[in-house]
Amino acid sequence: MTFSTIDYIVFGFYCLVIIGLGLFISTRKKRGDTDSSDYFLAGRALPWWAIGASLIASNISAEQFIGMSGSGFAIGLAIASYEWMAALTLVIVAVFFLPIFLKKKIFTMPQFLETRFDKRVKTVMAVFWLIVFVFVNLTSILYLGALAMERIMGVPMIYGILGLAVFAAIYSIYGGLKAVAWTDVVQVVFLVGGGLLTTYFALNHLGGNNGFVAGFRDLLQLVPEKFDMILEKGSLMIPDGKGGEKDAYLDLPGISVLIGGMWVANLYYWGCNQYIIQRALAARSVREAQKGLAFAAYLKLLLPLIVVIPGIVAYALQADITKSDEAYPWLLHNFVPTGVKGLAFAALVAAIVSSLASMMNSVSTIFTMDVYKEYFRKNASEQRLVRTGRIVSTLALVVAIVIAPMLNNFDQAFQYIQEFTGFISPGALAIFLAGFFYKKATSNGALAAAIGTFVFSLLFKIFLPEIPFMDRMGIVFLLCAGLIWLFAVLEGNRVQTKSITIHKSQFYTDKTFKIASLGIIIILIFLYTIWW
């Protein structure tokens, strides 16, 4: 993609705004005045709009812009279920998960597991999350982000990795969650604005320069098969990344997308994942956190227009590409005009950098509060905790920089990463839900589920590979929940001393949230009714 002078100016302006704002926020307090609550939870003072913006900025990265556009090219709008079902998931998490977390005033997800179960469960899950966050998520964000820059700008992989890492590190390591969250507010403006402009120009071209609406109307007429939300078995064959083809049903197994394993993936990701939920833990209040998640839900409803529709447009335009994942770069190169290219590229970099910064902060929070403070220095001062968090962020980023180029040796690296995470999410979700709502759930049962999620997933993968990935997650979740129940029975079927007392009043929501939630549900019913 050829950049003009104005494109470089626009992109440079974006970089200066983000770095300047991040450094300003990071240095507002004197070095010794920043405590662990400031660094890891932004002083528990985030308003709803900052929470919602930061959630989306952290969630969206290169795999959405590149990967979901590629899936839009190959599969169509059905891939948007990841985004639209996430919107409804955010409402559920806001009502049933957040009040419990915020009442406990926790810093991390492992900390909650200790208060409900015991230190063994906390430590096992803390170590698991650290391994996954550093060696899978942080590394993959760097690799896929650099890969996107290489495809779009021709930037060599290693320079892309180093550039993205330094960009994110400049403000996030020193400033912590407060710097990450407030810069995310600006990142989202670039992310959504630049993404929508790319979609507009692509659809405008498709419609013969008659505007966005005309282009979308033509898209529906040209490729109606790409707007089937529920796939039937054998109805669509897509590239398997190995030179052959596979049934798209294996990735999106029909109606079970709506009632099966995708719920496991979404509830785990949005409700039990430190990387995401940390923003809500930093809210001023439960009401503010709930409004923030509702705001994020509306942005999720919008995102398919930014990350899926461009891929469908590229398919309709018969893009001259060899891989589906090249659809988005192809559109940027051919149809985004001078001046706007810089903004569109800024949107992509904003998505990558915000995700990097958020992941680094989550790694430092879990290690500092659940490992360092627990096993190395119980009475550590606030300043020492903050300093440790900064050191851990730096080390995690260095490890990711070293490992990221190695992912280039794997075919379909992102798919392998998704599947590995899917080995864990069923058991983790079962543990959290049992911790919330099953007073007889024991610590041994939680440990059994943590181990069982690996074992069950591996057995299904080896012996029943024909079962779609999402269906497998749903089955493994039920098996892990069964394990928790079995251990409760074997251990006397007694209410546990650490069980959580739930009152209906905890799940009260105000009028604003109720109206917002109703709007989300109505929109989802409308969307799925049109493109069933």
pTM here? 0.91
In a domain, 520, yes or no: no
In a domain, 325, yes or no: yes
* Claim to verify: residue 439 and residue 383 sit in the same structural domain: no
- Which of 375, 403, 431 corresponds to the end of one domain? 403
246 bridge partner residues: 238
* Claim to verify: residue 343 and residue 464 sit in the same structural domain: no
Q: For residue 297, what are its two tokens?
A: 């839900």
In a domain, 408, yes or no: no
Query: Domain of 445?
Result: 413-501
Give the domain CATH number at 67.
Answer: 1.20.1730.10
In a domain, 519, yes or no: no
- Which of 381, 403, 425 corresponds to the end of one domain? 403
In a domain, 358, yes or no: yes
* Claim to verify: residue 66 and residue 212 sit in the same structural domain: yes
- Which of 361, 385, 403 corresponds to the end of one domain? 403
* Claim to verify: residue 398 and residue 419 sit in the same structural domain: no
Other CB atoms within a 10 A radius of the CB of residue 415 amount to 15
* Claim to verify: residue 154 and residue 185 sit in the same structural domain: yes
* Res 411: pLDDT: 47
Reference 183, options 330, 358, 419; nearest CA is 358
* Res 286: pLDDT: 93
* Res 426: pLDDT: 94
* Claim to verify: residue 266 and residue 324 sit in the same structural domain: yes
* Claim to verify: residue 438 and residue 392 sit in the same structural domain: no
* Claim to verify: residue 384 and residue 418 sit in the same structural domain: no
Distance of CA 223 to the CA centre of its chain: 29
In a domain, 517, yes or no: no
In a domain, 139, yes or no: yes
Please answer whether residues 345 and 373 qualify as being in contact, where contact means their C-beta atoms are separated by less than 8 angstroms. Answer: no
DSSP states of 469-489: HHHHHHHHHHHHHHHHHHHHH
Three-state SS sequence of 219-275: HHHHCHHHHCCCCCCCCCEEECCCCCEEEHHHCCCCCHHHHCHHHHHHHHHHHCCHH
Residue given tokens 């009040």 in the structure block: 99
* Residue stretches of the chain with pLDDT short of 70: 1, 29-33, 240-243, 409-419
* Claim to verify: residue 474 and residue 354 sit in the same structural domain: no
167-215: pLDDT as tens digits: 989 888 888 888 888 888 888 888 888 889 999 999 999 999 898 999 9
CA distance 350 to 57: 8
CA distance 10 to 49: 25
* Res 440: pLDDT: 96
In a domain, 516, yes or no: no
Number of domains in the chain: 2
* Claim to verify: residue 385 and residue 444 sit in the same structural domain: no
* Claim to verify: residue 391 and residue 447 sit in the same structural domain: no
* Claim to verify: residue 319 and residue 193 sit in the same structural domain: yes
Q: How far is CA 481 from CA 89, 152, 267, 431, 433, in A?
A: 20, 45, 15, 8, 9
